[in-house]
């Protein structure tokens, strides 16, 4: 970092500190004189609610709501705090999807802040020129410059505040600047995620210096500080997001992507990317209509492409609309139908959804199309998978199908989600990510944040018929599924999760658990999960196999462990959700155990 950059960053940090002192406490806690509530995965009450995977981040969102910030203000503040405390899942080096309900207008809108491929990427960008074969997914492609997309998170924050917020960016960033400077307490999850990535983190000196001090992951109970990130966020607070997309930070990002700063003794190839400062300066979010479908009299809204989440969740719900699901009388059949509807949705996702022109969104989320797909499902017997995709023009045919497009499942599980509802009934569902746990593993020197490896979500080998093909300026297809459900025009549920391709099935399963299977929202969030993604066997958490394996066997459903039961790979999702009932009472629910458990808060808790 140049001396001039250090001086400017320091000046910005001083300016932001003044904002903290005058407007927001910046301590990730309650306003002066009010004791911060104890972290809990469930909170019930009124006046606004926030749910996320992290207690510090949820406290930041709560503080904004207590100070009369709205759902957009609280969502941006919570997201920036998650970039501090969950740096391996989110941060300004990544992207995400933002869904918002405006209570005054009744409208639901979205912001696509997905990362984009640089203009210099080629069709063979993921092909090793020495072998002619695709780079091995891990570690070569994962930990590389060629996998880094132009970050969209800062632009998403700016757009969300401009469209819906009442606070300026500087004020929303103040708590996370203080959190990065003062530090947070390391928990077991943070330490274990660091250890899991220690080998590749060690290959990048700046990453190793930040996350592996003295060659080891930070100890549980120790305080983790990131002064470089505090300075970077302060720079954004002082200069707006143009301070990220133009100028010294953009120059540092481009240089890091083009020449990944690899340790001399490392044998990690870390292929270079082509991203330039012009690519970064050209980044724009997309504002587009949400996906919309109806289920059991509820209006379900989600993200349109470049995410496949809204389409897949809506299609699966539409397929299930014609069945009577029940948590007592026919639980086993209900779960069987959930798995079958998921397989169908994933077949159509692979065939039709990507960042390409004319994705048939309206057809894919229509009840007519879902009915043509439901007729391929046997309510008593598992299908032979992979099931083929559906014909977009079924005509008078009997369940017509088309040839499959084979899709490798490379989306990584490490992402994060937050849900917010404010005192006026506005709501935000925001899922953000840097892809792999730890992203690319590359920390921008002197800036304190990791770069994403999001371009690995493209199909590695170019196929002109594949809607998820690599092309300059394109956004890789995502499964992120931030979802807002309305009843009679008012917010009923706000739901989302991390988990790569399992996000879709996780959101779907939580909605079914709450709406159809007789569960409370906290029960639906905590329930054991399975994730059928059009594969012969269904990956499932050990608890799901123990609870339902025998009852699903007569249906021909084959379950397999979702990962080693002693690692986080066995966990499917980490939901953050909120329910608002007809009286306006809020139930905020976060994961009680997965990823170490999340935290939910309400502004005015109900007496227990």
Domain boundaries, the chain: 1-526+566-608
> What pLDDT sits at residue 30?
42
> What pLDDT sits at residue 413?
60
> What pLDDT sits at residue 398?
76
Record the pTM. 0.94
> What pLDDT sits at residue 329?
86
- Considering the candidates 276, 415, 443, 459, report the single residue annotated as catalytic: 415
Cis peptide bond upstream of 350, omega within 30: no
- Tokens linked to 432: 């953000």
> What pLDDT sits at residue 277?
98
> What pLDDT sits at residue 164?
98
Picking from 379, 397, 399, the residue whose alpha carbon sits closest to that of residue 387 is 399
- Tokens linked to 514: 């709450």
Give yes or no: 415 in active site.
yes
Please report the sign of the dihedral spanned by the C-alpha atoms of residue 155, residue 165, residue 307, residue 447.
positive
Picking from 199, 183, 211, 91, the residue whose alpha carbon sits closest to that of residue 143 is 199
> What pLDDT sits at residue 5?
35
> What pLDDT sits at residue 366?
97
The H or E element containing residue 604 is: strand 599-605
* Alpha helices, DSSP H, located in 47-168: 55-66, 71-85, 153-164
Cα–Cα dist 202/225, whole Å: 19
* Alpha helices, DSSP H, located in 325-425: 331-352, 361-364, 367-374
> What pLDDT sits at residue 488?
97
Cα–Cα dist 579/32, whole Å: 29
Cα–Cα dist 536/538, whole Å: 7
- Scan for tokens 């949400």, then name that residue: 290
Cα–Cα dist 435/190, whole Å: 16
Residues in the chain with pLDDT < 70?
1-34, 36, 396-397, 405-413, 564-569, 608
- Tokens linked to 394: 């079924």
Cα–Cα dist 515/136, whole Å: 42
DSSP state, residue 137: I
- Tokens linked to 335: 């779960």
């Amino acid at each position: 970092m140049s001396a001039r950059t250090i001086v400017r960053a320091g000046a910005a940090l001083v300016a932001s500190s003044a904002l903290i002192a005058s407007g927001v406490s910046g301590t990730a806690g309650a306003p002066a004189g009010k004791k911060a509530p104890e972290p809990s995965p469930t909170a019930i009450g009124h006046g606004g609610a926030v749910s996320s995977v992290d207690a510090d981040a949820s406290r930041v969102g709560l503080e904004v709501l207590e100070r009369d910030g709205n759902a957009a203000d609280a969502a941006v503040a919570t997201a920036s705090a998650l970039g501090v405390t969950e740096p391996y899942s989110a941060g300004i080096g990544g992207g995400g999807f933002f869904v918002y309900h405006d209570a005054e207008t009744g409208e639901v809108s979205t912001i696509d802040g997905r990362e984009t491929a640089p203009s210099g990427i080629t069709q063979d960008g993921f092909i090793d020129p020495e072998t002619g074969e695709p780079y091995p997914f891990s570690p070569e492609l994962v930990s590389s410059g060629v996998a880094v997309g132009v970050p969209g998170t800062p632009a998403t924050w700016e757009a969300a505040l401009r469209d819906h917020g009442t606070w300026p960016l500087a004020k929303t960033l103040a708590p996370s600047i203080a959190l990065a400077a003062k530090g947070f307490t390391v928990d077991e999850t943070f330490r274990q995620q660091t250890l899991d990535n220690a080998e590749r983190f060690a290959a990048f000196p700046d990453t190793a210096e930040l996350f592996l001090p003295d060659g080891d992951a930070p100890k549980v109970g120790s305080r983790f500080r990131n002064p470089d990130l505090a300075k970077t966020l302060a720079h954004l607070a002082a200069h707006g997001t143009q301070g990220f997309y133009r100028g010294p930070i953009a120059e540092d990002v481009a240089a890091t992507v083009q020449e990944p700063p690899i340790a001399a003794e490392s044998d990690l190839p870390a292929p270079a990317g082509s991203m330039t400062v012009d690519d970064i300066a050209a980044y724009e979010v997309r504002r587009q209509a949400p996906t919309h479908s109806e289920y059991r009299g509820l209006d379900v809204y989600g993200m349109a492409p470049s995410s496949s989440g809204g389409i897949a969740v809506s299609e699966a719900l539409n397929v299930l609309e014609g069945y009577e699901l029940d948590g007592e009388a026919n639980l086993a059949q209900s779960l069987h139908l959930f798995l079958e509807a998921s397989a169908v949705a994933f077949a159509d996702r692979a065939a039709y959804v990507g960042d390409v022109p004319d994705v048939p969104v309206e057809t894919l989320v229509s009840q007519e199309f879902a009915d043509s797909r439901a007729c391929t499902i046997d309510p008593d017997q598992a299908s032979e998978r992979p099931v083929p995709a559906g014909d977009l023009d079924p005509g008078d045919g009997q369940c017509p199908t088309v040839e499959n497009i084979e899709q490798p499942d490379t989306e990584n599980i490490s992402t994060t989600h937050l849900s917010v509802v404010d005192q006026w009934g506005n709501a935000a569902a925001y899922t953000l990510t840097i892809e792999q746990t730890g992203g690319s593993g590359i920390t921008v020197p002197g800036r304190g944040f990791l770069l994403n490896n999001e371009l690995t979500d493209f199909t590695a080998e170019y196929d002109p018929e594949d809607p998820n093909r690599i092309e300059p300026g394109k956004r890789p297809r995502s499964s992120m599924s931030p979802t807002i459900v309305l009843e009679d025009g008012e917010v009923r549920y706000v739901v989302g999760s991390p988990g790569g391709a399992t996000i879709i099935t996780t959101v779907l399963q939580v909605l079914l658990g709450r709406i159809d299977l007789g569960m409370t929202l906290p029960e639906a969030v905590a329930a054991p999960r399975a994730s059928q993604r059009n594969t012969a066997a269904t990956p499932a958490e050990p608890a799901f196999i123990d609870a339902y394996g025998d009852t699903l066997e007569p249906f021909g459903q084959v379950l397999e462990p979702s990962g080693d039961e002693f690692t986080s790979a066995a966990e499917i999702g980490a939901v953050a959700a909120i329910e608002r009932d007809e009286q306006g009472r809020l139930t905020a629910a976060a994961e009680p155990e997965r990823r170490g458990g999340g935290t939910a808060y309400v502004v005015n808790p109900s007496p227990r």
